[in-house]
């Protein structure tokens, strides 16, 4: 267990002593935050920790995190859009497919302005031939809730998972199925986007750490209520070859016209 040397204070740049403001993350400032989300993309190194440089290299472009992907205004609008659907469900403590406690969830098409805009902006993270499903999985976790280690069902979900975190920071940990000592952690600030694809999605479990284990290195990341909007694509017709989708993506990326 890591010991706290700092406390999450509403922005990793402030906490880690960096001068970069969260709003200065590439993409947010360019007015095109969906750009550069393919496998060529670089994760923000301040938001990523790996058990070794080899693991970081192996998951390069496959596990991404971007701070400041949605603004505070967009976040408020997205929450206004999804809260009514969540409000009807009671918090639960287990799920057939993944160890999860203190949660409620819904699957819904985002039809408001902010929701539709968000779907468009996460679409570049997906292979052109396997775009995200139009409905988002909305997962509402209580401060004491957790998502235990799991791999998303290969039967129901495709090669790419993209999640936008709202309200509370949290830590997403990936752990290798083959070598459990290999791990990668992403610091998910409110308004951030993470993307898991190919090996990061199939060969590693992922989990949202419970409050008592919520540290990012020496940084304490206190968990409050967290709402995630998670986008997934459909599986290909010929699963479950875990790596089969990545060449498709790269091929598709190369096929697409050069950026203007």
88-107 binders of ligand OGA (CB under 6 A): 98
Neighbours of 193 (CB within 10 A): 26
For position 228 contacting ligand OGA by CB under 6 A, the verdict is: yes
For Mn ion, give the closer residue by CB, 98 or 225: 98
For position 66 contacting ligand OGA by CB under 6 A, the verdict is: no
Least Cβ distance, residue 19 to ligand OGA (angstroms): 29
For position 208 contacting ligand OGA by CB under 6 A, the verdict is: yes
Q: Which option in Mn ion, ligand OGA, none does residue 228 bind, with CB closer than 5 to 8 A by kind?
A: ligand OGA
Q: Which strands sit side by side in the sheet containing 6-7, from one edge to the other?
A: 6-7, 219-220, 215-216
Least Cβ distance, residue 196 to Mn ion (angstroms): 8
For position 185 contacting ligand OGA by CB under 6 A, the verdict is: no
Least Cβ distance, residue 108 to Mn ion (angstroms): 17
CB-side exposure of 2: number of CA atoms within 13 Å?
18
| Rounded-to-integer distance, Cα 217 and Cα 67, Å | 18
Q: Is the distance from CB of 12 to CB of 218 less than 8 angstroms? A: no
Q: Which of 12, 139, 186, 193 binds ligand OGA (CB under 6 A)?
A: 139
Task: Please confirm whether the linkage preceding 54 is cis (ω < 30° from 0).
Answer: no
145-164 binders of ligand OGA (CB under 6 A): 147, 152, 163
| Rounded-to-integer distance, Cα 42 and Cα 127, Å | 17
Kindly give the pairing relationship between strand 226-232 and strand 6-7.
unpaired
Least Cβ distance, residue 39 to ligand OGA (angstroms): 20
Is 124 strand, coil or helix?
helix
Neighbours of 243 (CB within 10 A): 11
For ligand OGA, give the closer residue by CB, 114 or 195: 195
Rule CB under 6 A: which residues touch ligand OGA?
98, 139, 147, 152, 163, 206, 208, 228, 230
């Amino acid at each position: 267990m890591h010991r706290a040397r700092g406390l999450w204070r509403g922005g990793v740049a402030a906490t880690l002593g960096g001068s970069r403001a969260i709003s200065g993350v590439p993409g947010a400032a360019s007015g095109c935050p969906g750009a550069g989300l393919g496998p060529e993309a670089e994760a923000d190194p301040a938001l990523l920790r790996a058990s070794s440089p080899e693991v970081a290299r192996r998951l390069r472009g496959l596990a991404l995190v971007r701070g400041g992907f949605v603004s505070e205004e967009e976040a408020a609008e997205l929450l206004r859009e999804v809260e009514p659907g969540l409000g009807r469900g009671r918090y639960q403590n287990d799920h057939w497919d993944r160890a999860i406690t203190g949660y409620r969830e819904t699957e819904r098409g985002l039809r408001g302005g902010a929701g539709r805009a968000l779907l468009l902006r996460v679409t570049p993270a997906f292979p052109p031939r396997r775009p995200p499903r139009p409905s988002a999985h909305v997962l509402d976790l209580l401060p004491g809730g957790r998502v235990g280690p799991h791999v998303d069902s290969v039967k129901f979900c495709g090669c790419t998972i993209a999640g936008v975190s709202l309200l509370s920071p949290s830590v997403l940990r990936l752990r290798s199925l083959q070598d459990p000592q290999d791990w990668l952690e992403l610091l998910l600030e409110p308004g951030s986007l993470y993307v898991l694809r190919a090996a990061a999605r199939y060969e590693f479990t992922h989990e949202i750490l419970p409050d008592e284990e919520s540290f990012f290195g020496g940084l304490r990341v206190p968990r409050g209520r967290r709402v995630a909007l998670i986008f997934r694509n459909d599986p290909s017709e010929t699963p479950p070859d875990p790596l089969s989708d990545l060449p498709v993506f790269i091929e598709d990326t190369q096929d697409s016209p050069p950026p203007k």
